Amino acid sequence: MIGRLNHVAIAVPDIAAAAGQYRDVLGASVSAVEDQPDHGVQTVFITLPNTKIELLGLLGEDSPIAGFLEKNPSGGIHHVCYEVDDILAARDRLKAAGARVLGSGEPRTGAHGKPVLFLHPKDFNGTLVELEQA
């Protein structure tokens, strides 16, 4: 059902500083900071030959990553994102198997403009999983 790894997301307390570190220290190709108001975060994508790293920064006081950064003030891996061919079929199969889909259970538009869903970390070995329709 799942396809390739689309990205690994890292929540960071200072997105500009983190982007600079990837660009200047590691020599990576780094996108501009983009606000994602529907998700309450800012994003930067680092393009690697085999996948992407997504840096997540706070966007407003009600950002869904605020609690994560309170527990992890230096930042850390927030979630992994896998591609699926059909997000609704994947959702239905996962729910039938007992996995919990976060939110309303309906896909939302993600940072790449494609439908995404998040799966409860307690159902996946403590890892928050994002599914993105390929």
The residues assigned a catalytic role are 130
In three-state secondary structure terms, 43 is strand
Strand partners, 11: 56, 76
> Any alpha helices (H) in 7-62, and if so which ranges?
15-20
Cα angle 67, 3, 90 (rounded to 5 degrees) comes to 70
Helix (H) or strand (E) holding 10: strand 5-11
